[in-house]
Structure 1
């Protein structure tokens, strides 16, 4: 198994994501859990990955889109709501309420990158990551990336894809969505030969009317300019370019400001959005940067239970921010939530679905589905719902380890993927040990038991017990089975050993 958790891949230590206590309504299975919802009330822009349909779910809010007649703004071929896919980063103009509902007055979608790919690192089943390149831009794919059109392991050089994602502090990208162009979805692409690139201008030649984004040469002589003028082009200016490749040169049809424009000041002043932290929290001025915005933290800022405070806001960490624009263009954060998975279970469904509570058990682990949960599968274009998990197929859940007020635990799902293969009797999970007594170990709220046949990989049982007794909550990877009466561990190891 030896899976590397997403938060480890961006450099957090095992103790960094401290787990808080949720104020649940009674706690435990069969009761209502306090999970992420619409947060604060606001009117303005909500920008984040689509997580569901029947209206459109973005940032945990179910936006009513009836007044829009199914229309979506943008010029990348995704002109109607029916063409949206889970994982696509969508800008919603409208109003949202504390009960998790909202009214959309406009939807806008724009690809981040589009073109043929090079494979830099094929999908690694151990780390569950891959690296590709589009027009010289490096794109990171991880377990939370929604991949449509073919299985991620089958991606090949020359595949033409669209990427919806976020720019990282080093100029590379993290994909929220990757969609393959195929014969069945040609209408979803505005121009079959048109590519899209964004990034900072690294050099410019005004005489030749060319500039570079990294290694890619762009000729802008015949381009239409939107939101900026030709005179605004300069080294360091971040732009988005759409056009056609001719002899390796991108002949620009359109040049405009990059995707950060969707986070600009709205007339009403409210915004909620998701993105990776660009620069860490600075205690001297109580700010951090994300998506090109400076965010200010105050004593009134509410933090998700999985974030103990602003000092954990480090570069690359995926978070959701809700707040208000100030007159100087900064944002005062009212609420900050973690959107980075720190735990996983891969197993068969082991209970019926409780539709009233949006709960089920997978491999014995209680899984809570919320409006933020993306449910997908390996099938090309299938949109899945909670009911589609009523299956014997293997399910993989990425999420955040949560606690109830009574001490019981569960996994709040960020992504649920339905596999193609029937689940077998062997289960896997990655999570934090919260209790260890004799042969019983509690991980993700599930009691699993050691036996004389349990294989302790690179650590002894006594050493593991000593860590727990000292107050640590070590992250472990567990392979286990159900013997008819209890879940028994076949193999257990420290997840941190994968970083060696």
Structure 2
């Protein structure tokens, strides 16, 4: 972890821990909506759990990590993206969590090292870091070697690139009974006779896998999660489990939502999507750190509001954390050049 990040995390944890279990505490960002709802964002502190500027009391919460029950907040790390279901108090900066769920974006071996010390390839997927990415078990990307096993938490941007909020070095090399692979993506090139399909550049052999799909059969266009207990052989993964998955968080009509993520599609400043969730703004939407006109494709923002009957998030408030920069075509060219160098 960079020295700046170590100091920031340490100071944050100490200040939060000193606040005890009440509703007071350090305000890390703007705070949240009141009422029962769902908050999706990265953990910014402990002493309870801070997400999207709200300090959640987790003393009575249930915890889930990668689909399995977890014991408590000690099983999580600052920077990991979680989904919290619970109640936000009227003050907008404190709440009570009912559930805390974490699901990594990717877990697997390093398949390509980038020379710019900001991008890396894991199981063929590009992972982007920045100054806010927290690194655990190593100091910088240039310390990593081919075959290192990493767990990535983060959010996909408009190009499908994983913008990492945290990276954990799990093992130096893939180790049987300790290491595992977890990769998500859209199925293509299904070969029912060979019992294979593709996920991006990966070839998945599901001949011995527990396939939890409709009719136990993979279908082109289906978004899935693949797990394996064996090291990849080139681009080939022998799957132990294949199951359908949600590409993005899903919400129900009437739910209050706080959503942190990248603008993944953009029609106008009044209509766009964040992490695949359609969003609408209007003249009454409050904007922090800029104007609605500053929002563009790949802006990193936080949206607060409610889900209407059409499944659209009607934004009461938008906080712009990073505006988008280059066009989609320019960014895609940059990613390809960096990884190919």
- Please classify the TM superposition score into its range, dividing by the shorter chain length: 0.7 to 0.9
1:117 equivalent in alignment to 2:110: yes
Distance change (3 Å), C-alpha of 1:138 and 1:54: same
Uncovered stretches (5+) of structure 1, i.e. residues with no partner? 1-32, 125-129, 343-500
1:294 equivalent in alignment to 2:287: no
Counterpart among 143, 150, 172 of residue 161 in structure 1: 150
1:454-491 CA-to-partner distances (Å, cap 9, x unmatched) read xxxxxxxxxxxxxxxxxxxxxxxxxxxxxxxxxxxxxx
1:243 equivalent in alignment to 2:228: yes
Is the 1:38–1:97 Cα contact (8 Å) retained in structure 2? no
1:157-197 CA-to-partner distances (Å, cap 9, x unmatched) read 222110001112222211111011159xx9xx996231011
Q: CA deviation at 1:301?
A: 1.5
Q: How many residues in Structure 1 have an aligned counterpart in Structure 2?
A: 294
Uncovered stretches (5+) of structure 2, i.e. residues with no partner? 1-25, 325-341
Matches of residues 122-161 of structure 1 in structure 2 within 5 Å?
Answer: 122-124=115-117, 130-152=118-140, 153-161=142-150
Secondary structure of the 2:60 match is: helix
Distance change (3 Å), C-alpha of 1:44 and 1:35: closer
Secondary structure of the 1:72 match is: strand
Counterpart among 44, 65, 74 of residue 66 in structure 2: 74
Counterpart among 160, 165, 169 of residue 171 in structure 1: 160
Is the 1:42–1:271 Cα contact (8 Å) retained in structure 2? no
- Residue aligning to 1:319: 301
Q: CA deviation at 1:270?
A: 1.5
Q: Give the RMSD, CA atoms, in angstroms.
A: 2.9
Q: CA deviation at 1:339?
A: 2.2
Q: Separation in 2 of the partners of 1:238 and 1:204?
A: 13
- Residue aligning to 2:260: 274
1:223 equivalent in alignment to 2:209: yes
- Residue aligning to 2:22: none
Distance change (3 Å), C-alpha of 1:296 and 1:267: closer
Q: Which has the larger displacement, 38-47 or 250-259? A: 250-259
Q: Separation in 1 of the partners of 2:323 and 2:297?
A: 16
1:193 equivalent in alignment to 2:182: no
Counterpart among 42, 65, 84 of residue 76 in structure 2: 84
Q: Which has the larger displacement, 156-165 or 213-222? A: 213-222
Is the 2:35–2:88 Cα contact (8 Å) retained in structure 1? yes
Matches of residues 347-426 of structure 1 in structure 2 within 5 Å?
Answer: none
Q: CA deviation at 1:87?
A: 0.4
1:95 equivalent in alignment to 2:82: no
Q: Separation in 1 of the partners of 2:77 and 2:103?
A: 13
* Larger radius of gyration between Structure 1 and Structure 2: 1
Q: Separation in 2 of the partners of 1:56 and 1:138?
A: 29
Secondary structure of the 1:314 match is: coil
Q: Which structure's relative contact order is higher, taking Cα pairs within 8 Å and 6+ residues apart? A: 1
Q: Which has the larger displacement, 267-276 or 45-54? A: 267-276
- Residue aligning to 2:39: 46
- Residue aligning to 1:348: none
Distance change (3 Å), C-alpha of 1:159 and 1:37: same
Is the 1:197–1:240 Cα contact (8 Å) retained in structure 2? yes
Q: Separation in 1 of the partners of 2:221 and 2:307?
A: 25
Counterpart among 174, 177, 180 of residue 169 in structure 2: 180
Is the 2:252–2:311 Cα contact (8 Å) retained in structure 1? no
Q: Separation in 2 of the partners of 1:108 and 1:296?
A: 27
Distance change (3 Å), C-alpha of 1:60 and 1:79: same
Q: Separation in 1 of the partners of 2:69 and 2:28?
A: 35
TM-score scaled by length of structure 2? 0.77
Secondary structure of the 2:158 match is: coil
Q: Separation in 1 of the partners of 2:176 and 2:61?
A: 21
Q: CA deviation at 1:62?
A: 0.5
- Residue aligning to 1:334: 316
